[in-house]
Each structure stands twice: as C-alpha cells, then as structure tokens.
A and B are shown apart, each in its own frame.
Chain A
Amino acid sequence: MNPWVMLAFPFAQHAFLAASFVAAAAGWIGFYVVLRGTAFAAHALPKIGFAGASGALLLGVNSLFGVSLYSAVAALGIGALAERDRRDVATALVLALGLGTGALFLSLGNLYAEDAMSLLFGQVVGVSALGVMETACVSAAAVLVVAAFHRVLLFTSVAREAAAVRGASNRIADWALLVGLGLATSAMMPVVGALLSFSLLVGPALAARHLVRRPWQAILTSVTLSLAVTWLSLFLSFALGWPVGFFVACLSALAYAIARAASRIFDRRPLEGMA
C-alpha cells in the first residue's frame, strides 16, 4: 500500500510517533553505549526485557510493566555484579538468568506465537494512543537520566582516575547508563522488538563517531541518523509489508558502513593533497 496514504490512519500515526520517540532515545543513549563499550549490556537488556514481558503476559499484567521491571532489575544486577567482576561476565550471568526465567514463563504461560513474535520483532502498528504516551514518557525518562550525567559519563570514560580525583565517580556513571539503558529498552521493546533494538542503539552512534569529533555533535548526529533510519524503515515496512525490525537492522548497519567509508575518504584527502 502507498505509505503516504497510510499515514492518514491513526494506527500509522501512532506507529510513526512511538517509533520517533524510541529512535531519538536510542540514538542519544547509544552515544554513551559506544563511548563506554557497554554494547554487550545493550544487547542483553532487551532479551531480558523479553523474558519480563512473557512473565507479565503470564500474570495478565501490562507487558510494558513486565519489561520495565525486568530490565530495571537486570540493569541493577549487572551494575552490582560488575563492581566485583568484569562487566561482560556480570552481563552474561544476568542475561542467562533472565533468559532462563523467560523460558519458564513461556512454557508455563499460554503465550501465543504471535505475541512472542511481536515482542521479539516489534509490533509497531499495534501501538495505541495510550501506548504512544507511555513510550514518550519512558523514552524521555531514559534520556533525562543519561543527559544528567553527560559530563560524568564522558570524563570517567576518557580519564577515569583524573575524573575520580575531581569527584566524578565511574560507578555512578555506570549505574546511570545502565538505568537509562533499562528504561530505553522498555520503550523500545514494543516498537522494534527485543532482538533488534540493539541495532538502533549501536548502529547510528557508531556511525556518528566517524562523522564528527565533538560529543554534542556526535549525539546530534546519532539522534538524527537514528530518526532517519527509523522513518525510512517504517516507510519501507508500510510499502512492502515486511517487518520494521528487518529494515531497522539493515539500515543501521548501512549507516555505519557509509559513515566509515565517508570518514576513510575524508581522512585520506590531505594525504592525496600532499602527493
């Protein structure tokens, strides 16, 4: 169907709005995810959120509530374990626990394959007006948490000990990012799904760091790219009837590949000029 015509329908408008909020939050938070190398946690939290959603469906409560609770607990768990062990180990452990309980919920519950599919791959056209509001609030909360600690996140990433002397705590920065990530996950799950929200968190942010060299520029670029990827994905999904998540994953990777190529060409120019 013609995507422009579809935008006249409320369900498509809702999808467009919800996806935009999610994309902006993902682009912003992705900047810190890439900066601090927490991609594995960004990869794990949505999967754990999926387990939370299946638990919520089992109990018959709002699945957004299940996702939020589960990813919040998981984020705090990773943070607490990472203080003693390496963060990737802590993340793997929490991920395994989350998926294990998720498997239990799925087998106990009468979750239909459709429900599971929409949680895993997103069900963007199923978002209600209330859902749009919820998504907007949770996305905004996620961005507020990381933005509040913007400087601390930066300082502790590039010069941890110098930052500690000035009172910028690496531990607080870690917590802030994990909480922001947990919130962003909750917002993204219903829209792009558990499996593919990772690509929106990492692709645009990785592309941005190749294109610009200052932090606020990188955040702006990452948010812009994330929005562009999402809008284009929605458009293609409406036009072709394929899942949004597929296009989000492909276009995020494409954005990164193009940005890398562009920066290579850009960086090489002075050398060619000299020759």
Chain B
Amino acid sequence: MNPAIVFRDLTVSYGHRPVFANLTGQIQAGSFVGVLGPNGAGKSTLLKVLAGLIRPAAGSVEIDGRPVKRRAESIGYVPQAVQMDEDVPLTGRDLVGLGLDGHRLGFPLPTRRRREAIEAALAEVNALHLADRRIGRLSGGERQRLLIAQAIVSRPRVLLLDEPLNNLDLASTQQVVELVKRLAHEGEMAVLLVAHDVNPLIGRADEILYLANGRMAMGPIDEVLRSEVLSDLYGYPVEVLRAAGRIIVAAGAMDGHAHAVSAASPEASVMLP
C-alpha cells in the first residue's frame, strides 16, 4: 500500500521563531488521522505546509509520490475559523461549486456533470437542505459542513481539516467525525483533522499525530496517548487518565497536588488545592 502523504525532516519557522523541526511521517490513503496538541504547537502550520501554502525551511512533502504544489486538485483544505460577510450573495451551492472550478477563468457553465458533482458533495455531508441558503447567514456548524463539501467536491486524495469541530454541539461533532471517517475509509482519502478534544475521535480515528514542543508522536490512540510518550514529548511529567471510556490528559502531579485537566493537552490544566 502506498502512502498518500509523506513528509520528511520538515522544519518550519516564522522569521527566527521555530515552530517545529525534523518531523517525519507518512499517512496512508484511506486513513483518518487526528492531529492534537496545545495552542501554538503548530497544528495549523503543519496543515498549511502539507497543503502547499507554506514552504518549509527544510524537508519535503510528497502527495501521492509527487512534491506538493499550488493548484493541487488532489488536496481539499478547510482552514481554521473562516469569517464570512453576512450579506455576501453566495449560496451553499455556489460555494461548493467554487471548490470544483473556482480557480478557472470566466463564469461556470451550468453543465449536468457540474451540477451532479455539487449535489453529490452536498449529499455526502448531509447539506442538501442548505444548498440555496446564503452562506453568510448559516450557523457555524452548518457552514462547516458546506466548507467540507467544498473541499471534497473535487474528489481529492488528501483532506486537511483545521478544527472543524469548533463550535459544534455534541450531536454535530459526532456527525462530522463519522462523516470524516466514512470519507477516509470509503473514499480512500487520507484525512487529517485537527481537534482539541481527543474523545470524539476515540474508536473513529485510525491514528493520532500529537504535536508539542516542536516535536511529534504518531500512532494509534492507545500508543500515543500514554504517559511515557507525552511526558517525553513535553519534557515534563504528563499523566493520561482513562475513565468510563474517556481520555483525560493532565500535567503530572510532581508536587503532590492534583490537577484539573484537559481532554487532550496538559497545558490547559489548572491546579486544584
């Protein structure tokens, strides 16, 4: 089986500030990878590098065996927090259509193939009922689904989703994660999904890519979310607690105090008396 994404020795810095160094890994077609890590760890940066939006200082990225370049129809990308003007005259259908041919010149021709591709993408994310609504007036969750449809309409090999679960309620979170899992497994896409909570990914994501401290750990959830692995990554003791099928990551109790905890990173931990 050949990997859809291969990255070697990736090093990225903004000016003189390094974000991460020497990341190496690969992601198989058809696998769903959750990307975790504290704020500022470089999750968005990694996705942008894989999408070809940022050129790494060193290292290489290959998509399907070829170096990434702009104008990649084989990559679908949904950025973190997309702002939209409330009155923009654009419907869900138009937005998804842009994902298909938005880089071309002139106006789109209303061919049957185009219409069917758009309908199929909308149906895939359960958003047919949003097709004729203005995108600026949708709820965050509704818009997120349209943005995913926009990203998958060109049938990419790689799907990069930056925090698509933000602002979603529990039911929508489950729906989007299930959808992403289905896209990966049935559509043979390699999917990277950035999240802050690991729990919706349990039992659904095939692997976790954990970024912290400029380094990463990658593997199945149970192999990555372990105290030894995360402590090594962060450079201080980190505990991973499991309760009732949920995972909680906490800064280690070196000083004998218990810490209240975050669902994915110890950074958000608060000390309790």
Chain A interface (Cβ within 8 Å of chain B)?
35, 147-152, 154-155, 157-159, 161-169, 208-210, 212-218
Contacts and interface: CB of A to CB of B under 8 A. Distances in A.
B171 interface: no
A214 B90 CA distance: 5
A225 to B, nearest CB: 14
B101 interface: yes
Contact of B134 (A157, A166, A213): A213
A8 to B, nearest CB: 39
Given A162-B79, A166-B71, A218 B105 contact: no
Interface in B67-96: 70-73, 75-79, 82, 84, 87-91, 94-95
B103 interface: yes
Given A158-B84, A158-B88, A162-B151, A214 B70 contact: no
B64 to A, nearest CB: 15
Nearest to A205: B89
B89 A218 contact: yes
B108 A209 contact: no
Given A158-B84, A214-B94, A166 B103 contact: yes
Interface of A is mostly: helix
Given A147-B107, A161-B53, A162-B147, A214 B79 contact: no
Given A159-B147, A159-B150, A151 B72 contact: no
B70 A167 contact: yes
Nearest to B68: A165
B107 A151 contact: yes
Question: Which 3 residue pairs spanning A and B have beta carbons closest together?
Answer: A167-B71, A155-B102, A218-B89
B176 interface: no
Contacts of A166: 71-73, 99, 102-103, 154
A205 to B, nearest CB: 10
Given A162-B79, A162-B150, A209-B89, A167 B103 contact: yes
Given A151-B106, A209-B87, A215 B75 contact: no
B103 A158 contact: no
A229 B135 CA distance: 29
A167 B78 contact: no
Contacts of A167: 70-72, 103
Of B76, B89, B103, B104, most A-chain CB atoms within 10 Å: B89
Nearest to B136: A158
B139 to A, nearest CB: 16
A258 B25 CA distance: 58
A244 to B, nearest CB: 28
